Structures are given as C-alpha cells and as structure tokens.
Amino acid sequence: MHLTDPERPRNEKHPGISEVNGMEDEMRAEYDFTGARPNPYSQRLKKQVTIRLDVDAVDYFKAMAIRTGIPYQSLINLYLTDCATNERELSLTWV
C-alpha cells in the first residue's frame, strides 16, 4: 500500500521514515559525540516572549509586511535587532 493511498484506513499506523527506507527503527544505547562541533547557529536562537504593543504599532508593521512580503513579527524583530546592534537610545520628552 502506498503512503498516499486514499484507501488506507485512517487508524492505520503511518510508517516512520526509517521503515520507508528499509532501515532499522531502533535507538542506540549510547551515541559518540566526541567529533561533534558546536551548533554554529546557537547564538542566533530566538526566545519566545509575550509583549503588549499599541494597535497603531502593530498595524504599521502589518502594512509593511504586506508591502514587503516579510511576516510582521519578523519585521518587528529586525527593527528591534537593528536598535540593539546600533545601541540606539530612545528619545523621550514628557509633556
């Protein structure tokens, strides 16, 4: 039976990729990482945060997302990363 066969019963177990390739599907007791190197992207990992933003600010980035084709969350991240990289200071004047 083919993986995309519409006749396949819905409750039938889907084969794992190793079963499809004819490989054994077992975990080893131990793995040797002595030759492993550090993840070169580990410094670029992102952290999920919850933040409240003004509606106008979100609308601004959503409109920019439509124009550029870049998701608005990515645009906000790019903007904040640019501010941090260039050590921009916020200029506030309280009235």
**Domain 45-89, CATH:** 1.10.1220
> What pLDDT, on a 0 to 100 scale, did the predictor assign at position 67?
97
> What pLDDT, on a 0 to 100 scale, did the predictor assign at position 1?
47
> What pLDDT, on a 0 to 100 scale, did the predictor assign at position 68?
96
Alpha-carbon gap, residue 60 to 50, rounded angstroms? 19
Q: Residues of the chain whose pLDDT is less than 50?
A: 1
> What pLDDT, on a 0 to 100 scale, did the predictor assign at position 81?
94
User: Exposure string (b/e) for 77-95, b if CB count within 10 Å is 16 or more?
Assistant: eeeeeeeeeeeeeeeeeee
Task: Measure CA of the first residue to CA of the last residue in the chain; give whole Å.
Answer: 73
SS3 at position 55: helix
For the whole model, what pTM was predicted? 0.53
pLDDT in tens, 35-47: 998 888 877 788 8
Are 16 and 25 a contacting pair, CB within 8 Å? yes
> What pLDDT, on a 0 to 100 scale, did the predictor assign at position 7?
61
